Amino acid sequence: MALIVHKYGGTSVGSTDRIRNVARRVAKWHAAGHRMVVVPSAMSGETNRLLGLARELSSDPDPRELDVIASTGEQVTIGLLSIALKELGLKAKSYTGAQVRVTTDSAFTKARIREIDDAAIRADLDQGTVVVVAGFQGMDELGNITTLGRGGSDTSAVALAAALKADECLIYTDVDGVYTTDPRIVPEARRLATVTFEEMLEMASLGSKVLQIRSVEFAGKYKVPLRVLSSLTDPLLPLEEEARSGTLITFEEDKSMEQAVISGIAFTRDEAKITVMGVPDRPGIAYQILGPIGDANIDVDMIIQNASVGGLTDFSFTVNRGEYAKAQEVLATRVKDAIKAAEIRGDDKVCKVSMVGVGMRTHAGIASLMFRTLSEEGINIQMISTSEIKISVVIDDKYMELAVRALHKAFGLEQAA
C-alpha cells in the first residue's frame, strides 16, 4: 500500500484516447491498493500553440502574462484526466499549482519551487481519491501564476513526491528509459537498467532530454526513488512487470557488480559561447562580468578563464542559445566599458558533448581516450570542462553527431558492463 506519484509527458496525454489509456494505467495501480498522485503535462503541441499566439502579439511578451497563458495547457489536462478516471469509477480530483499551493519564487517562465502544501492532497488520498495535479506551474507569494520552464512537470512530480514522502515517483514518457546516448544518433545505444543519481544529474544538465535537471536535483536532495519508463506499453500490462521496467535512478553506486566506467554520452546543440577578451586579471572580475548576466536572469553553464598573459586574460562562458542575443546586449551595455574589456566575441553555432560515469573516479585515461577519439575525427575542441564524474567539450555544431557516434564506439558503450 505505497504512495506512488505518476508523471505523464505531453505525448502520453496527446489525445483523449491517450488520456483514457493513462486513466486505465492509473486505475491498475490504484486497484493494487496504492495511493495515487498523477501529474500530467499539457497535451503535446499545446504549450507551443499558446506561446505562438503570444509571439504573434509581441516579439518580447511579458513573462508574467506568458505564464498566465502557458499554465492553461496543464489545467486542461488535469480536468480531462480527472473526468477519464471518474469514467472508470474512481474518485478523482484535480488541482492547479495554485490550488495545491505550490509556492515558487517570482522568476516567471523559470520559477523555482519553494514549498508545497500537502494538506489538501493528503486529505483526498485518505479518502481513496486519485489526486491529479497540474505539472509545470505554481504561484508566487503575491498570488501570481508562475511556470517552472520547459520540462517543469518532471520537477513538479518529484517535488510532490518529496513533499508527500512518496515511495516511488514514476516518470512515464515516450522513451522506455535512459540510454547510453540518444538512439536516434547512435542506433547501438543501450538502455541502462540503473543509473546513479549523480550520473543522471550530469546527463540531465548536459542535455539528455529524458528528465529535467531540477527534477533530478529534487530527487537527489529528498532521496525520492525515481524511475523513467514508457507510457506506450499496454496500460493493462501486469503491474509487477511494469514496476520493474525502464531505468531506475539509484542513490548509491552498485557495489555488487563491476561498475561501467562510462554510463553515457550526453549532448546539447542548444549552446552559445561568449568570450570577453583582454580583461584585466584582478579579483572580482568574474563577478563584474557574470553579475549583470545573472541579474538579467540568464543561466550560465560552462565558465573558463585562461591563464593570464601580461595582466590580461580571456574570460569565456556558455549560455543557452536562446539567450545569446540578450547576453551579448547585457555585455555591450553594462559590462564592456565598465571593465575596460578589449573585445567581446561569440559563437552560437557550437554544441556540447559530455562523457558521464561514476566509474571515472577510479579509472584513469578517460580524458585522453576522449581527446584522441575526437582528434582522430578531425574535430577541434574549443572548451573543456571537467567534474569528478564527467568531461564536457564544446565543439563546432556540425560535428556533434559524428563526435557522439565516435565516442560511443571508442568506449564500447553498446556492450553491457
Give the footprint of a copy of itself on this chain (CB under 8 A): 16, 19-20, 50, 53-54, 56-58, 61-62, 64-66, 68-69, 71-72, 75-76, 78-80, 82-84, 86-87, 93-94, 96, 98-99, 143-145
Minimum distance of a copy of itself from residue 57's CB (angstroms): 5
Nearer to a copy of itself, 145 or 166 (CB): 145
CB of 43 to a copy of itself, least distance (A): 9
- Which residue, 80 or 350, is less far from a copy of itself as judged by CB? 80
- Shortest distance in whole angstroms from residue 30 CB to a copy of itself: 17
**Residue for cell digits 509545470?**
136
Closer residue to a copy of itself, CB minimum distance, 231 or 316: 231
Q: How far is the CB of 61 from a copy of itself (least distance, A)?
A: 5
Question: At closest approach, how far in Å is the CB of 65 from a copy of itself?
Answer: 4
Closest distance of CB 212 from a copy of itself, Å: 23
Could you tell me the smallest distance in angstroms from the CB atom of residue 339 to a copy of itself?
Answer: 33
What is the residue-wise DSSP string for 348-397?
A: EEEEEEEEE-GGGGG---HHHHHHHHHHHTTPPEEEEEEETTEEEEEEEG
- Please, what's the largest Cα pairwise distance for the chain? 76
Residue 92: left (phi > 0), alpha (psi -120 to 50), or beta? beta
Cβ at position 68, least distance to a copy of itself in Å: 4
Contact predicate 212/154, CB 8 Å? yes
Put residue 228 in one of left, alpha, beta given phi > 0 → left and psi -120 to 50 → alpha.
beta
Which is closer to a copy of itself, CB of 55 or CB of 398?
55
Closer to a copy of itself by Cβ: residue 42 or 353 = 42
* Least Cβ distance, residue 76 to a copy of itself (angstroms): 5
Q: Which is nearer to a copy of itself, 18 or 273 (CB)?
A: 18
CB nearer to a copy of itself: pick between 76 and 193: 76
Nearer to a copy of itself, 23 or 370 (CB): 23
Distances (CA, A) of 27 to 35, 147, 235, 236: 11, 28, 9, 9
- Cβ pair 97, 156 in contact under 8 A: yes
Q: Report yes or no: 37 and 121 within 8 Å, Cβ to Cβ.
A: yes
Q: What φ, ψ does residue 218 adopt, rounded to 5°?
A: -60, -45
Closest CA to 156 of 179, 177, 132, 173: 132
Dihedral, CA atoms, 40, 44, 50, 55, nearest 10 degrees?
130
Minimum separation from the CB atom of position 99 to a copy of itself (A): 6
Residues 6+ apart with CB under 8 A from 82: 92, 93, 94, 130, 132
Residue 83 vs 185, nearer CB to a copy of itself: 83
What letter represents residue 354's amino acid? Answer: S
Instruction: Show contacts of 296-302: CB within 8 Å, 24+ apart.
Output: 296/326, 296/327, 296/330, 297/107, 297/110, 298/323, 298/326, 298/327, 298/330, 299/323, 301/271, 301/352, 302/352, 302/383, 302/385, 302/392, 302/394
Residue (21 or 196) nearer to a copy of itself, CB:
21
* Cell reading at 107: 522568476
Question: How far is residue 12's CA from residue 276's CA, in Å, rounded to a whole number?
Answer: 44
